[in-house]
Structure 1
């Protein structure tokens, strides 16, 4: 039995962290399957995931082979069963779209030839430039039903509740992504007609449009909008597509359930990273939120490719996890269905090579934020087979990558251990050793929440000829989420703040908390009203960006600035010969003068000035409103732990964990379980060893600065129940528990001396030449290793 409860994944009642690796059976010769799976076991994985590509299993005559009749690699059940023989769970990803660098993203060529009506046209009727389809076209659904009728009966008897090893099934892949990246909405006649019905219900008639939705002229009004209704159409199209995608995923789920695939989680893969950045990721959440948010049995999973673990990418990853959780219900856990693994050399041309620590550092951050399933993509590479029917596209293979695939993977295309294999194996070993508490712990948060405005990410469609649409998308994309230059999130993380996010279209921040929000000139009236109400009721608001003065459709909306008594003025921008610089005033000072990309003049009728340019033009104010306060910083500020921490503290929230380091590069957070277990997570992203003084709840951890090695992560006990013993504190991560002994990785040193482990008072510890025993705080048994560089094994009893 698989249960999703309290953001945990429980398998037969046991909370688990599922560590999976993507292995594409269709890219590996049948007689090599076992070797690849043996490497999965060697690496410590507990599960294997794989796409099941329709394009690979459909034959030129339109028949479908999933039993291996025409080639042995098509025997899906045999691969799943081989995983089971090795104790590996299986995550099935049957599409219909699978992407995976396959031709047509995994859809057979025949579908497009026989059903041209499924192929969308975009703005002005222009043909789409991708392999996307109108998902709800009856012809596409009928073809998909035929595919599901072939593959789902193989999975049903192998589901975990039926005694098998299939623990989850992903429905489609990256739904809506192709339309987003090409700015080509799926404007088939079928979709535009559906949009018309939806718009009539929303507006009760023609609303902002020149004709009644669905009437003559409606299709032209949608495909080639004029400025008079372009803003409303952009807003409506984003909201409507959420409904349409939900209908599509719901139809897929019904098809799967009709073939007996029930009682396991259905997964939805969320796309959104672009060009090594995670900042656009919530576009995927915005598109797909209605497919899974609050829907029983549905779970979303992240899909992120951001390269090296740096302060920028880790800030993005922190936001990704926080925003995903913000739209989940109380039971839905975080998962990652495509967690970038390997060296980064995807083109086999030695263009890049990530540090081997990258996977480890990213994994640790995600697990600290509550991820319960991580699927390393790609874990094993392979060889792309030839298409059964040549199409003359330059290589006639299944994939557009050529012959070899997965050159960056921990296991290479020919089954060799790759550059990142050993580092990935060590990461998985660390997770497995700490799974009992990672599976049940949640991140502790300070009284701070990051504002999620999903409508600020409904920017996937804008007519290139519309100035209004383009202006709205440009403004929203520049200021949302972590704030320009990631200044909001990166600064607070460096200052030690631990925070989640609040979905502002759906709920208000916690009473009395500090809301931090990156926003631009476009901010929906309902959100402005909610932010204002939070402050009036005694909460704090830190707003970074230009003053909001427009609703999402471009109509004036000054609810927030009017209540604050602020009149926004001109924006002064950085140019090649003009360098706006700002300085802090009042409680924000002292702070060094900083050059900024822009600053906006603010005229405030009350409150305190906290930021000006060098000539005294005000661009930052602290304004009382009701029982609370709003701090508006209207400038493109760099990250600054000092400035932003002062602002949040001024608004009423202090970090429960704080760090002192000689330079930036260390992230810390804490997790806790319902039964009182607790841990500190320390991640050093820098390339240098770092002395880190960590204060938790007002107490300096371990009595001095921890000596944290370069590019390393550590889970340190603050009260863990291990092997019947309570580890009260210490500077070592658990490496394993055996009968009568607890193993720790080499302990972090403290100051100029060795680290230690503190066990609960009265714990019987057998003497050993490898450590000395002493008394720790509150009578604890303190164990100190003789050799600080060696792993520590503490013998009990």
Structure 2
């Protein structure tokens, strides 16, 4: 549990105070950017000891952290963002290496501070920066008794190009792309695919900068855009792996290297998988590397709750068993980043998000920004209006739990409570993984290869629009929302590379008309071999380049007769058929008429045409195809999932929407049940899991982690309606009371007593400990004599 503290924004005498406040909140790790733009002096030298400025005292910061037994996550860039000018890269680099500034569409220079990561001049400078800072970190690695426990490589690589729609199209990059295309498709194949000859250097560059719109066919334009993104993935991987190698050369080894993923926008996470798509080639399956999320989502509600859950699931889908997911920028504070009072995040939000991410297996959470500070002046004025290191003014981090002056904000207690919630079960969580129901959500990396579209390519804009509408969580986000709010916990599967087990979980996939040929083949083989598939959205009928591809539809024996879109004058509506019981007709935003063999599950009420069918494929596989954006009626979706044999492990009877239920377990049967209520109303319900039924009450926007089958020395905590508040010592059990009354059942041959107003009585099942309503957060100690 970490918090971000920027030593370079604090007077030297204030650093210790901020670290003390971090430790007092319960955190055991401090993270910080280590900005190149701060540590490089006007003369071009690098100061990491504070000899020339108190804001450059990195070594002092590391030593203060070590004195407090705080581990350190080092984030040395070269890019660091953090509202720093040039995203933390010295002004000198842009002056000395103009060729590093990318050219985008039509040869126009990039409108952001991004650089061509592989441009030799920039890369040499970045390696010199690493040569200066990495030995300082290497001397203080946790492996040699120091505090540095992990190192992040660069920051949000590719983000600036994506948000500005500026691919890197310099002559050097396009020459590299020509070689990549010839290796991938051959010269003739490249000419056919893109409409340009990779051996004709001048025309090749013109063609790509024009996005293939100069008389190129629609297929060629789509192929060009797709492969442009694929080539960028390759380049980003080469860059990040080069930085790793340079770090190792300078002694940093034996600790994790972290890759920070960007992608949330306007309080939503629907675009976050773009970062996974861009960068996973750099870390997926690479030893000693893993990824971390970077999310700013404001309040957690039923709207964006599925976003965060799917973000974590998709991150895990590309990792191997030795790569835990992390969160390197976990939003904390008020959310008033512009100091304009346009947003104030509710104080319980940090805890709700923490509980969800920990339940999904996050092994590192870094609260960003934990403590504010101020922006010191640059060594050399640049005449930009404030001549400081950042563009936020003199103060920085005014939304943080600890404000720039060191005062505790109203969000500090919420952060303390969030950390306490994790600490209470940390000894169990560290060895646990999330358990899933019998369904996984399909992740298609190429559905998020949408960073770039030439302004004049209408066919590409249309394709991106379809992808954004249907991918991932489904049209209107309903597929993921129905699963999560319907009481299912689910993992994800990378359909571009994973081997699908027909005897394994059902695959749920939200898909646009575009689905790559290889993935269609993989899904078709999966169903033919007996697998179960739920398709939601549009029937896939084209490959990534827009060419026809109906492999999956053919395997299911289906085709689309027509698609109906809602308009201001047309209100397409559907009705579920008898299988779902008496269901009212519902309006939808789109529907597809499906033709083929199979049982009809829903029809267009205008003419009775099927819009949802169940197909049994020779070989025993089953598929449900829902060709409309059916509303989030949870009963309907549960019935739909039951058609393909998916049932809930955890039943919450009597709850209203907004309750998330999942569980984590270790290999010995110990289990934690995670309950998160994002609804603005309390929940009273009966929870049934593992044959245990508990009557529970959960306040509005509250969470609980309940132990099931947790071992003590010679006893078992069968269940409790209160959370653990630490590991105890084998003869004591420490619980964190909620406001209402509670109970716990312990199997043991020893006598049991409880403190205060709690009582312990022997029953046939074991010792039953009960306590009345009290003050939420009080500790209750149960003793085994």
Q: TM-score, normalised by structure 1?
A: 0.94
Pairing of 1:778-793 with structure 2 (within 5 A): 779-787=765-773, 789=775, 791=778, 792-793=780-781
Q: 2:6 aligns with which of 20, 24, 31?
A: 24
Moved more, 449-458 or 347-356: 347-356
Pairing of 1:389-428 with structure 2 (within 5 A): 389-428=380-419
Q: Given the alignment of the two structures, is residue 210 of structure 1 paired with residue 200 of structure 2, yes or no? A: no
Shift of residue 765 of structure 1? 0.9
User: Any idea what the Cα deviations from partners look like across 1:321-366, whole Å, max 9, x if unmatched?
Assistant: 1111110011111111011111111122221111111010111111
Instruction: Name the counterpart of 2:181.
Output: 199
Distance 1:470 1:363, change over 3 A: same
Partner Cα distance (1:738, 1:700) in 2: 24
Partner Cα distance (2:750, 2:658) in 1: 37
Shift of residue 211 of structure 1? 3.2
Q: 2:319 aligns with which of 325, 328, 335?
A: 328
Partner Cα distance (2:605, 2:512) in 1: 20
The alignment covers a number of residue pairs equal to 771
Partner Cα distance (2:432, 2:304) in 1: 24
Q: Verify the 8 A CA contact 2:431 2:666 in the aligned structure 1.
A: yes
Q: Verify the 8 A CA contact 2:469 2:476 in the aligned structure 1.
A: no
Instruction: Name the counterpart of 1:632.
Output: 625
Q: 1:369 aligns with which of 360, 371, 381?
A: 360
Pairing of 1:341-740 with structure 2 (within 5 A): 341-512=332-503, 513-626=505-618, 627-697=620-690, 699=691, 701-702=693-694, 705-722=695-712, 725-738=715-728, 740=731
Shift of residue 612 of structure 1? 2.7
Shift of residue 710 of structure 1? 1.2
User: Any idea what the Cα deviations from partners look like across 1:3-41, whole Å, max 9, x if unmatched?
Assistant: xxxxxxxxxxxxxxxx00000011111110011011011
User: Any idea what the Cα deviations from partners look like across 1:216-267, whole Å, max 9, x if unmatched?
Assistant: 3111121111342211111211221111111101110111111111111111
Q: Verify the 8 A CA contact 2:574 2:602 in the aligned structure 1.
A: no
User: Any idea what the Cα deviations from partners look like across 1:412-450, whole Å, max 9, x if unmatched?
Assistant: 111110120011011112211211011111111111111
Q: Verify the 8 A CA contact 1:103 1:398 in the aligned structure 2.
A: yes
Q: Verify the 8 A CA contact 1:46 1:89 in the aligned structure 2.
A: yes
Instruction: Name the counterpart of 2:135.
Output: 153
Where does structure 1 lack aligned partners over 5 or more consecutive residues?
A: 1-18
Q: Given the alignment of the two structures, is residue 755 of structure 1 paired with residue 742 of structure 2, yes or no? A: yes
Shift of residue 210 of structure 1? 2.7
User: Any idea what the Cα deviations from partners look like across 1:736-775, whole Å, max 9, x if unmatched?
Assistant: 35554322122475xxxx3201112324213655222234
Partner Cα distance (2:705, 2:611) in 1: 42
Distance 1:460 1:723, change over 3 A: farther
User: Any idea what the Cα deviations from partners look like across 1:77-133, whole Å, max 9, x if unmatched?
Assistant: 110110010010000000000011111111111101111000001111112111111
Partner Cα distance (1:724, 1:267) in 2: 40
Q: Verify the 8 A CA contact 1:723 1:737 in the aligned structure 2.
A: no
Classify the secondary structure of the residue corresponding to 2:187. Answer: coil
Classify the secondary structure of the residue corresponding to 1:757. Answer: strand
Partner Cα distance (1:111, 1:61) in 2: 13
Moved more, 565-574 or 355-364: 565-574
Shift of residue 582 of structure 1? 1.7
Shift of residue 793 of structure 1? 2.1
Partner Cα distance (2:728, 2:317) in 1: 38
Where does structure 2 lack aligned partners over 5 or more consecutive residues?
A: none
Q: Given the alignment of the two structures, is residue 795 of structure 1 paired with residue 783 of structure 2, yes or no? A: yes
Partner Cα distance (1:764, 1:213) in 2: 81
Q: 1:190 aligns with which of 160, 166, 172?
A: 172
Partner Cα distance (1:91, 1:450) in 2: 32
Shift of residue 146 of structure 1? 1.2
Q: Verify the 8 A CA contact 1:584 1:612 in the aligned structure 2.
A: no
Q: Verify the 8 A CA contact 1:68 1:74 in the aligned structure 2.
A: yes
Q: TM-score, normalised by structure 2?
A: 0.96
Q: 1:179 aligns with which of 129, 149, 161?
A: 161
Partner Cα distance (1:773, 1:597) in 2: 57
Moved more, 613-622 or 329-338: 613-622
What is the RMSD of the two structures over their aligned residues, measured on CA atoms?
Answer: 1.6
Distance 1:342 1:510, change over 3 A: farther
Shift of residue 215 of structure 1? 2.4
Q: Verify the 8 A CA contact 1:21 1:376 in the aligned structure 2.
A: yes
Shift of residue 660 of structure 1? 2.5
Partner Cα distance (1:107, 1:768) in 2: 58
Classify the secondary structure of the residue corresponding to 2:402. Answer: coil
Distance 1:346 1:99, change over 3 A: same
Q: Verify the 8 A CA contact 2:652 2:685 in the aligned structure 1.
A: yes
